[in-house]
Chains A and B, each alone.
Chain A
Amino acid sequence: GENVEQHPSTLSVQEGDSAVIKCTYSDSASNYFPWYKQELGKRPQLIIDIRSNVGEKKDQRIAVTLNKTAKHFSLHITETQPEDSAVYFCAAFYSSASKIIFGSGTRLSIRP
């Protein structure tokens, strides 16, 4: 069915350390994978996305990797800072449904 699994649901890391969030999807035809960050009381905002023709994409401290064979993709945040504290949602475009399916979210907390 249309599903995106996201783990972990909560993550606490020391400031300066790295954080990794993992997602899996089931539609082998999926070709677009965005990541959204939602700060408390705010709207979700796109922070990075990747299409299926590449395996990795990086933007400063944020990187996303995609393994199409295994149908999983990950978000990596390096040198974490307090402002990285938020809920992060992964998503995958399901062509069968013509819509983006969101994961359940990961609450990331950065310890000072």
Chain B
Amino acid sequence: NAGVMQNPRHLVRRRGQEARLRCSPMKGHSHVYWYRQLPEEGLKFMVYLQKENIIDESGMPKERFSAEFPKEGPSILRIQQVVRGDSAAYFCASSAGSGNEQFFGPGTRLTVL
């Protein structure tokens, strides 16, 4: 059973470009969470999705950021017009239910030049 997959593992973008981060949950998991982590800091919740639905996006900036989890395919976190402050590690986690263990992916390290 493959774990949570994220790609790319490293992404470099110039200011103003778009970043698209992908997350494939563990088999059988329909709950996906995205977190952002700055160096030496904690996990900041961004968004919680179930298949085709955004359950909670209270941690995600209203501008430039969007997330989806379509019926088929991976969950996507999209950052438009990236700025240097977007540089961080973005982790996705999945679970079988909202109160169940979350399994984390390896993260995508985004660097904005």
A binding-site residues for B, Cβ under 8 Å: 31-32, 34, 36, 42-46, 49, 89, 93, 95, 97-105
Contact = CB atoms under 8 A, between A and B. Distances in A.
Interface in B38-59: 41-43, 45, 48, 55-56
Given A42-B106, A46-B101, 6 more contacts: A43-B106, A93-B98, A97-B56, A100-B102, A102-B35, A102-B45
Interface residues of B, number: 20
Interface in B71-105: 91, 98-105
Contacts of B107: 43
B56 A98 contact: yes
B43 A102 contact: yes
Contacts of B91: 43-44
Nearest to B35: A102
B69 interface: no
Interface of B: 33, 35, 41-43, 45, 48, 55-56, 91, 98-107
Contacts, number: 50
A34 B101 contact: yes
19 contacts: A32-B100, A43-B91, A43-B104, A43-B105, A44-B91, A44-B104, A46-B102, A89-B42, A89-B43, A93-B98, A93-B99, A98-B48, A98-B55, A99-B55, A99-B56, A100-B33, A101-B45, A102-B42, A102-B43
A99 B56 CA distance: 9
B41, B99, B103, B107 — which one has the most chain A CB atoms within 10 A of its CB? B99
A99 B100 CA distance: 9
A104 to B, nearest CB: 4
